[in-house]
Amino acid sequence: MKVILLKDIKKLGQAGDIVEVKRGYARNFLIPNALALGYTKDNLRLFQNRRKKEEAEREKARAKAQSLAAALSKLSLTIPQRVKNEEEIYGSVTKTMIAQALREEGYDIAEDRIVLDEPIKKLGIFTLKVNLFPDVVGEVKVWVVKK
């Protein structure tokens, strides 16, 4: 039986592929679990329309992420911290603190999107990357200053 795969399936194919499988596998597993559609002209047209809609939504989200990246590149966050020595701070500046500072500026970005290799433990200016979309990375400047 020919089916149109709706999702990538290991050892079978990628989403959009038309593959030949046993009738029982298609009827009992692939189709009920929304992993595939039976191959007909109507289902092929339905799949192509769905794919076009998903691509348009993805492109819209990508454009939004690119505009957010441009806005973040102009943004400069200031995070005041208590200092114990000349440049060393108590504790560290974490992703949570940076995400909170972004929220205060009006940007709701989850902390898991902020790339911070290690916590910031000194005063200074740091440029951090923010993953906004699979291939869109923004940068934000963070100033850690004495409180």
**pLDDT(138) > 90:** yes
Q: How confident is the model at residue 68 (pLDDT cuts 50, 70, 90)?
A: very high
pLDDT value at residue 14: 92
Segment 16-34 shows an average pLDDT of 94
How far apart are the C-alpha atoms of 32 and 85, rounded to whole Å? 64
| CATH value of 68-146 in 3.10.430.100, 3.30.70.3340, 3.40.640.10, 3.90.1150.10 | 3.10.430.100
Q: Where do the CATH 3.40.5.10 domains begin and end in the chain? A: 2-61
Which amino acid is located at 48 in the chain? Q
Integer Rg of the chain from CA = 24
Which CATH superfamily does the domain covering 2-61 fall into? Ribosomal protein L9, N-terminal domain (3.40.5.10)
Answer yes or no: is pLDDT of 85 > 80. Answer: no
Q: What is the mean pLDDT of the chain?
A: 92
Residue with tokens 């205060």: 104
90 — pLDDT class (breaks 50, 70, 90):
confident
Mean pLDDT over 38-62 rounds to: 93
Q: What's at 147, amino acid-wise? A: K
